[in-house]
Structure 1
Amino acid sequence: MKCGPAVRRRKLGAELRALRAHAGLTSSEAARLVGWHQSKVSRIETGRSKVKPADVRLLLDAYDVQDPDLRELLVVLAGSGEGGRDHWWHAYRGVLPPTYRDFISLESQACAMRTLENSVVPGLLQTPEYAREVTRAAVDGLPDGKVDALVEVRLARQDVLRSNPPLHLSAVLDEAVLRRTVGGPEVMARQLKHLREAAHLPHVRIQVLPFGVGAHVGVTGPFVIFSFPNTSDLDVVVLDHLTSSLHLERKEDLHAYSEAFNSLQVNALSPEESLGFIDGIADAA
């Protein structure tokens, strides 16, 4: 199974290889410019070797890459960013599994996120009470202290919606997400209210898939598509499982999931209709 760091290394390597080719350099010429052996450049470009942020900067200088956003993104892929949103989750390493840390890393640097949810409200849109109930249910028997820490992480993740520029979030929610009473009626009422408030943000788009749609392309399970600035070659699909996550990076996979999400949006209620639908469920509760 592919893990997030390996995905990022391969994507970083592919981008550096493309930038070297654009600069008209062979791998041997690039190695001479930065004082390395050619094999090091090759290992970096194929994702077989970890690369330090300082090494990425050396290569970008050699390739005369001036775009500050692209430079920062590639440095982030190497494991160190310069923005204020980077690496806050390291304080929670004791409670976060590596796959979750990697998910947060991708989320914190993405410019857009498309997500299908069939069971629960997406983490970026959860209230504290709702997040606590979901966390307890997902990890049975977890001590209260660790539950508190995981809820803190989930709420801290939501800063990407308030950053400048904010993450653009498009969420398609199956009707079951709205009708599943997580934490009791009062918790759910506050969660539905929070969803309605979030839906009014200019960078948040929420659509509901009513039961009446019947079977749809998303019945096989939820997924997330992360998009990054400057190049679509860095986009990643994330499939979450109970004990692990699968990261898909092949162009054909990205195309398939993008087409699936487009289909879901077409079949879902419009954002305006979805707001009315959420209001109806809240009023009937």
Structure 2
Amino acid sequence: MQHGPAVRRRKLGAELRALRTRTGLTSGEAARLVGWHQSKVSRIETGASGVKPSDVRLLLDAYRVSDPELRELLLMLAGSDDGIGRHHWWHAYRGVLPPAYRDFISLESQASAMRTLETSVVPGLLQTPEYARAVTRAAVRGLRDEPDERLDALVQVRLARQEVLRARPPLRLSAVLDEAVLRREVGGPEVMERQLLRLLEAARLPQVRIQVLPFSAGAHIGITGPFVIFSFPRTSDLDVVVLDHMTSSLYLERKEDLEAYVEAFNSLQAHALSPEESLDHIAGIVDGA
């Protein structure tokens, strides 16, 4: 298990090593091409040290990588600040966002697909402003003593994240929601009703799949807690599982961990209501059934 920055270094290094190998270069030959010592290439490829976006560009040029999507993804992993559009909007909120949250957003912004199990609250990408404010106020430690400006900024970030669902191409979101998510009254009855209606609206988008895991399903494999699986375009080697804790997030990158969580998510989907049945279930809660 690693924290976000370490995972990104390791994944970036592994991909750069694969690209070098594909071109038939040794690490020493690659180093000579860009004017470095061989040990620098080795440290980058093993994730032992960070790497500047400018150095990544040198390597990508040396390896004749011209695909703009792949280049942008690898530069994101290096922490590139010169991206455009939605990929780097969160830098304006550096003063209020913890590093782990910034890492999560950067991964979310570049992912092609996201699978998530939620056991307590509606996923951030599907929250209404009022619901997001209530959740943020309750979740962030000491926030009740913080100025309203900080709360406003954190809510703005949560809502800005939702742009990934409207991007071209959009993020594909598959969410399994424990029924407790729908029954827990967050922000009061009116706020909760609007949130449930928002779920019904979002579920009709072609890129969004929502399934409800009803109480009648009993104990299930996800009962130990929520998780997120990010998948990335072009290479599954960058896929990662994120586990949230009270004060930090843990990132799982090993192949066996990824396979275990993908299998768990598939099992949860099989035990959950179908998307159509889930819509009916949510509508029934709204109607008081």
Structure 2 matches for 1:124-273, cutoff 5 A?
124-142=125-143, 143=146, 144-273=148-277
Partner secondary structure for residue 218 of structure 1: coil
Q: In structure 2, the residue corresponding to 1:169 is in which secondary structure?
A: strand
SS of the aligned residue for 1:72 comes to helix
Indicate the SS of the match to 2:51.
Answer: coil
Is 1:96 matched with 2:97?
Answer: yes
Structure 2 residue aligned with 1:84? 85
Q: Measure the CA separation in 1 of the matches of 2:127 and 2:287.
A: 19
What is the CA distance between 1:83 and its match in structure 2?
3.4
Q: d(CA) in 2 for partners of 1:192 and 1:33?
A: 57
- Point out the more displaced range, 55-64 or 229-238: 55-64
- Runs of 4+ residues over 3 Å off in structure 1: none
Rounded Cα–Cα distance in structure 1 between residues aligned with 2:18 and 2:156: 39
Q: 1:140 to 1:245 in 2, by over 3 A?
A: closer
The whole-number CA distance in structure 2 between the counterparts of 1:140 and 1:256 is 32
| Greater shift in the superposed pair: 81-90 or 50-59 | 81-90
- Aligned partner of 2:99: which letter? P
Q: Deviations over 1:42-80 (max 9, x none)?
A: 010011111111211111111122222111111111111
> Aligned letter for 1:216?
H
Instruction: Work out the CA distance in 2 between the residues paired with 1:40 and 1:153.
Output: 36
How far, CA to CA, are the matches of 1:156 and 1:272 in structure 2?
Answer: 28
Aligned equivalent of 1:33: 33
Which has the larger displacement, 79-88 or 148-157? 79-88
In structure 2, the residue matched to 1:61 is 61
Identity %, equivalent residues? 81
**What is the distance in 2 between the residues matched to 1:65 and 1:135?**
42
> Aligned partners of 1:74 and 1:94: how far apart in 2?
25
Mapped partners of 2:61, 2:88: distance in 1: 25
- The separation in 2 between residues aligned to 1:23 and 1:206, in whole angstroms, is 42
- What per-residue deviation string (whole Å, max 9, x for no partner) do you get for residues 225-261 of structure 1? 0111000000010000011110111111000000000
Identify the residue that residue 11 of structure 1 maps to in structure 2. Answer: 11
| Alignment match, 2:107 | 106
Q: Tell me how far apart the structure 2 counterparts of residues 67 and 109 of structure 1 sit (CA, whole Å).
A: 15
1:23 aligns with 2:15: no
Distance in 2 between residues matched to 1:32 and 1:148, nearest whole Å: 50
Report the Cα offset of residue 117 of structure 1.
0.1
Q: CA deviation at 1:140?
A: 4.7
